[in-house]
C-alpha cells in the first residue's frame, strides 16, 4: 500500500473578537520527522486538517502515532462529569498518540487542530518496527519524548504549587517559545481566553483579569490578530520561584 493523503475540510483561523488573538506563523527549529519517515512506504498516511478539526477522540482505538509537520494541535481530556481541560498544546516537530506503543488500547485525550495542520500518521506495528530497526529515528524519538516528559513534570509542579497568575505567565512564555535571550516573541495562533482558562485550570474571568493586568504593566500586547510577549513577563515567574510572589 502506497502513501495516501487525506484532506479534511479547510477552515479559516478562528478569532475571538473580544478576547482572542491569532499570531503570525513563527519559524522555529523542528525535528525533521518528514525526512526520517520518507523511507516508509506502507502504513503511513499524510493528513491535512483545518482549524478546529478533530483528529481523534478520547476513547477511540489507539492504533497509530501522529507526527505534526506543520501547525498546532491541542490535547483535551473530558471527565465523566463533562468537565474539559486542555492538557497540552503541541507545535511543528512534535508527535502524539505514542501511548499505543506502550500497550494503551484507547486514546486518553481528544486531539484537535488549533490551526491548519499537516500530519503524518504511522500505524502502530510499522512504528514499533521502525523504532527497533532505525537507530537514528529511535534516538530522536526517545530524546524528544524525554524532553517532553520533563516539561510535563514541570507543568504538574506548576499546577500544584503556583498561583493561577504565575501559571498563566508561564504558559504564555511556553506558548511563545520565549528564551532567556528573547526580548519579544509572538504567541501561537488560535489561543483565546477560553483556551487559556482550560490550560491554567481557572475561570475565564480570572484569565481576563490577569491578561488585562499584564497588558497594563507592558508585559504583553495583543489584538484580534496577534499577541506579543515581552521580557517583563519573566518577572512574574521569577518572583514566584524566589518566594516573592
Query: pLDDT tens for residues 210-240?
Result: 999 999 999 888 876 678 888 888 888 776 5
Cα 208–chain centre separation: 21
CA distances to 132, 134, 151, 235 from 21, rounded to whole Å, are: 43, 41, 25, 23
Cα 178–chain centre separation: 15
Return the percent helix, strand and coil in the chain, to nearest 5.
35, 25, 40
The residue length of the chain stands at 245
What pTM was estimated for this model as a whole? 0.62
pLDDT tens-digit series, residues 49-72: 998 899 999 999 999 999 999 988
pLDDT at 178: 67
Q: Which residues pair with 121 in a beta bridge?
A: 45, 66
Give the SS3 label for residue 76.
Answer: strand
For cell 491554567, name the residue: 200
Is the pLDDT at 86 greater than 50, yes or no? yes
For cell 526520517, name the residue: 36
Task: List CB contacts of 85: < 8 A, sequence separation 6 or more.
Answer: 76, 77, 198, 199, 201
CA distances to 56, 96, 152 from 65, rounded to whole Å, are: 11, 6, 19
pLDDT tens-digit series, residues 18-59: 444 444 444 444 457 777 777 777 888 999 999 889 999 999
Q: Which residues pair with 90 in a beta bridge?
A: 73
Give the SS3 label for residue 12.
Answer: coil
DSSP characters for 123-180? Answer: EHHHHHHHHHH-HHHHHHHHHHHHHHHHHHHHHHHHHHHS-HHHHHHHHHHHHTT--T
First-to-last C-alpha distance (Å) of the chain? 58
pLDDT tens-digit series, residues 118-175: 999 999 999 999 899 888 888 889 988 888 888 777 776 666 667 888 888 888 887 7
Return mean pLDDT, the chain: 78
Q: In what order do the strands lie in the sheet with 4-7?
A: 4-7, 44-49, 117-123, 64-70, 95-96
Q: In terms of Cα–Cα distance, which of 60, 61, 62, 66 is closest to 48?
A: 66
Amino acid at each position: 500500500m502506497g502513501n495516501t493523503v487525506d484532506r479534511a475540510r479547510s477552515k479559516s483561523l478562528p478569532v475571538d473578537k473580544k478576547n482572542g488573538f491569532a499570531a503570525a506563523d513563527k519559524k522555529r527549529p523542528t525535528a525533521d520527522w518528514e525526512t526520517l519517515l520518507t523511507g516508509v512506504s506502507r502504513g503511513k498516511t499524510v493528513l491535512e486538517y483545518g482549524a478546529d478539526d478533530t483528529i481523534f477522540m478520547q476513547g477511540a482505538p489507539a492504533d497509530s502515532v501522529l507526527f505534526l509537520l506543520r501547525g498546532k494541535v491541542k490535547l483535551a481530556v473530558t471527565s465523566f462529569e463533562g468537565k474539559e481541560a486542555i492538557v497540552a498544546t503541541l507545535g511543528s516537530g512534535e508527535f502524539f498518540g505514542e501511548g499505543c506503543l506502550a500497550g494503551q488500547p484507547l486514546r486518553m485525550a481528544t486531539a484537535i487542530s488549533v490551526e491548519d495542520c499537516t500530519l503524518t500518521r504511522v500505524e502502530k506495528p510499522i512504528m514499533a518496527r521502525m523504532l527497533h530497526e532505525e537507530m537514528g529515528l529511535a534516538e530522536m524519538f526517545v530524546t524528544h519524548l524525554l524532553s517532553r516528559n520533563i516539561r510535563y513534570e514541570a507543568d504538574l509542579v506548576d499546577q500544584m504549587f503556583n498561583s493561577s497568575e504565575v501559571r498563566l505567565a508561564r504558559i504564555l512564555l511556553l506558548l511563545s517559545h520565549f528564551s532567556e535571550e528573547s526580548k519579544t516573541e509572538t504567541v501561537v495562533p488560535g489561543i483565546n481566553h477560553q483556551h487559556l482558562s482550560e490550560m491554567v485550570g481557572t475561570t475565564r474571568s480570572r484569565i481576563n483579569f490577569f491578561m488585562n493586568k499584564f497588558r497594563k504593566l507592558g508585559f504583553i500586547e495583543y489584538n484580534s490578530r496577534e499577541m506579543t510577549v515581552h521580557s517583563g513577563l519573566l518577572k512574574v515567574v521569577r518572583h514566584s520561584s524566589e518566594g516573592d510572589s
